[in-house]
């Protein structure tokens, strides 16, 4: 085997490899001898088929496998002999015109990881912004829960229903006079103004009284989950069984018991813990931002462009998804194009931080142990159907790249925690608004796109500045240092699809709700 370096520039390396035909032939001969005892052929006893006949029958398959194995071994030898640390999977190309009996010539292109001098971790100084949880905040949280768990009492029969009142109704839905499946219900509660039912349904019931009957006409939205109802006009014959009015909810031990808790003090204790957990998460975000900005400012080494390209593609794909949900996707995409260079700088920063954190972790013995890795794999497997979980576990165990991607977030958190432990931390009490402002603050101009006037967008789909979309404080995920990966032996199992069926066509698709015990103020 002959190996020749053809390029050595920055982090890029290129080699040509020649595998002599005689070496390939020797490998094929050796493999034929191994399989000959298992080959069966009419007229020969088991294990007695001549090698030349075995080669004639299976030579093409054995030859192809031998060439593939020797190419893989040659690439491994290139890496080992030159002490290379590949940043990503090497690019290997077989020269055109190869035929059996000729030497194999191939080119190997690879980007390597830079040599990084891990910084000393002693002497780091960080400020921790702390938001104390007050009794007033806890009381406000309790009141919000009470307002979302209203009680209702029967109103006088002459009472006309208005916003906030609850109706108990029976209804039968039909399209062109034909009742459709699932369009009938009895004793269904409906709060006018809640937006629980499809557009136009609740509004037409404003002003009804107990005992009233009314036929209303509505149009199902074009994006309604049931295919047979999308965009259709429907009539609902509604009978109002009762009009109810809200009553003041007494915030006491009985209220807490209805939520599954022992008493009101336990409810307040639970909510205080949730508020503290929420603000401590923001505090960690703020501290991690400081840490990453400090590391980024003190290190500027070359990074593999292949890793930057991969990171940029992830950022770009996320932004494109957000643009697709905006009112003016065309204007948003144009704005993204104007800021494309800035997003690429963010990708480069994330890769550099990922490599730096990895180097710090390795130097200081930070690791994700086998038990932690198994837990990560099992947790990730839960998103798949039961019959696919074992296949997913095998996929991760066999594919180094998949394992590295799964391991990266936990490893990063462990390195960050290690650095927090080493840092000199001073505490300062602030308000929540001040903490959030600190997180949002643009502390370094070279890592975030310049703000430009954006096209009008839906609030929920508004494009976040780059610091949100790609470099969001502690939510920013520095690209992890990854091991070179072999091609996956099995495809990743398809994610389990949610059931889109609707039990009650009159109702909007419901959002997933938290259990009553975990009721908390809206973030």
Can you tell me which residue has the tokens 């009996």?
Answer: 101
What is the distance between the alpha carbons of residues 323 and 317, in angstroms, rounded to a whole number? Answer: 10
> Does pLDDT of 460 surpass 80?
no
DSSP H helices, 82-159, are 135-147
Q: What pLDDT band is residue 96 in, cutting at 50, 70 and 90?
A: confident
Q: What pLDDT band is residue 510 in, cutting at 50, 70 and 90?
A: very low
What is the distance between the alpha carbons of residues 249 and 261, in angstroms, rounded to a whole number? Answer: 16
The CATH number of 151-248, from 3.10.20.30, 3.10.50.40, 2.40.110.10, 3.40.50.300, is: 3.10.50.40
Domain segments of the chain as ranges: 2-111, 151-248, 265-447
Provide the 8-state DSSP code for 217: E
Q: Under a CB-based contact definition with an 8 Å cutoff, are residues 227 and 204 in contact?
A: no
Which of 298-307, 467-476, 499-508 ranks highest by mean pLDDT? 298-307
Provide the 8-state DSSP code for 205: G
Instruction: Give me the phi and psi of 377, to 5 degrees please.
Output: -65, -45
> Does pLDDT of 263 surpass 50?
yes
What beta strand segments (E) does 284-423 contain?
Answer: none
What is the distance between the alpha carbons of residues 122 and 426, in angstroms, rounded to a whole number? Answer: 15
Q: Which fold has domain 265-447?
A: Trigger factor, domain 2 (1.10.3120)
Q: What is the pLDDT of residues 471-501, one digit of tens each?
A: 443 344 565 544 333 333 233 333 333 333 3
Q: What pLDDT band is residue 148 in, cutting at 50, 70 and 90?
A: confident
Per-residue pLDDT, averaged over 308-335, amounts to 90
DSSP reduced 3-state for 153: strand
Looking at residue 47, its pLDDT comes to 67
Report the chain's mean pLDDT, rounded to a whole number: 82
Q: What is the pLDDT of residues 12-65, one digit of tens each?
A: 999 999 999 999 989 888 887 887 777 777 767 676 667 777 777 777 888 888
> Does pLDDT of 102 surpass 50?
yes
Q: What is the pLDDT of residues 413-452, one digit of tens each?
A: 999 999 999 999 999 999 999 999 998 874 443 444 433 3
Looking at residue 132, its pLDDT comes to 93
> Does pLDDT of 129 surpass 80?
yes
pTM of the entire structure? 0.66
CATH code of domain 2-111 = 3.30.70.1050
What is the distance between the alpha carbons of residues 420 and 32, in angstroms, rounded to a whole number? Answer: 59
Q: Which residues contact 281 (CB under 8 A, 6 or more apart)?
A: none
């Amino acid at each position: 085997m002959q190996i020749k370096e053809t390029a050595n520039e920055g982090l890029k390396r290129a080699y040509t490899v020649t595998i002599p035909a005689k070496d390939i032939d020797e490998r094929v001969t050796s493999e034929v001898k191994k399989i000959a005892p298992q080959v069966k052929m009419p007229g020969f006893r088991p294990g007695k088929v001549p090698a030349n006949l075995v080669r004639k029958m299976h030579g093409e398959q054995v030859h192809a496998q031998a060439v593939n194995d020797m190419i893989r071994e040659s690439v491994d030898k290139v890496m080992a002999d030159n002490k290379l640390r590949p940043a990503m999977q090497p690019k290997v190309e077989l020269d055109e015109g190869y035929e059996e009996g000729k030497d194999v010539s191939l080119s190997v292109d690879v980007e390597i990881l830079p040599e990084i001098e891990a910084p000393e971790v002693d002497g780091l100084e960080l400020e921790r912004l702390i938001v104390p949880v007050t009794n007033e905040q806890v009381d406000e949280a309790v009141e919000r829960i009470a307002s979302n768990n209203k009680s209702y009492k029967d109103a006088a029969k002459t009472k006309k229903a208005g916003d906030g009142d609850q109706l108990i109704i029976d209804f039968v839905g039909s399209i062109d006079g034909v009742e459709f499946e699932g369009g009938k219900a009895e004793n269904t509660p409906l709060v006018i103004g809640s937006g629980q039912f499809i557009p136009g349904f609740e509004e037409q019931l404003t002003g009804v009284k107990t005992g009233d009957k009314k036929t209303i006409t509505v149009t199902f939205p074009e994006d309604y989950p049931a295919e047979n109802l999308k965009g259709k006009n429907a009539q609902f014959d509604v009978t109002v069984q009762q009009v109810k009015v809200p009553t003041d909810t007494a915030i006491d031990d009985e209220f807490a018991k209805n939520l599954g808790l022992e008493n009101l003090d336990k409810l307040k204790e639970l909510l205080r813990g949730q508020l503290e957990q929420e603000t401590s998460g923001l505090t960690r975000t703020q501290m991690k931002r400081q840490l990453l900005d400090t590391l980024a400012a003190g290190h500027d080494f070359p990074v593999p462009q292949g890793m930057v390209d991969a990171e940029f593609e992830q950022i770009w794909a996320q932004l494109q998804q957000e643009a697709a949900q905006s009112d003016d996707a065309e204007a948003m995409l144009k704005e993204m194009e104007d800021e494309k260079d800035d997003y690429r700088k963010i990708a480069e920063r994330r890769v550099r931080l990922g490599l730096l954190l990895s180097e710090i972790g390795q130097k200081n013995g930070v690791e994700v142990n086998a038990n932690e890795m198994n837990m990560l794999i099992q947790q990730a497997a839960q998103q798949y159907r039961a019959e696919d979980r074992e296949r997913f576990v095998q996929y991760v165990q066999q594919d180094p790249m998949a394992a590295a991607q799964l391991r990266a977030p936990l490893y990063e958190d462990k390195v960050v925690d290690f650095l927090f432990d080493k840092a000199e931390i001073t505490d300062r009490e602030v308000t929540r608004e001040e903490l959030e402002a600190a997180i949002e603050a643009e502390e370094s101009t070279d890592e975030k796109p310049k703000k430009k006037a954006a096209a009008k967008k839906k609030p929920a789909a508004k494009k976040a500045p780059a610091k949100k979309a790609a470099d969001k404080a502690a939510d920013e995920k520095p690209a992890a240092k990854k091991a070179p990966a072999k091609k996956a032996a099995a495809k990743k199992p398809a994610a389990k699809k949610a059931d889109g069926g609707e039990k009650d066509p009159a109702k909007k698709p419901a959002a997933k709700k938290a259990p009553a015990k975990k009721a908390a103020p809206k973030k």
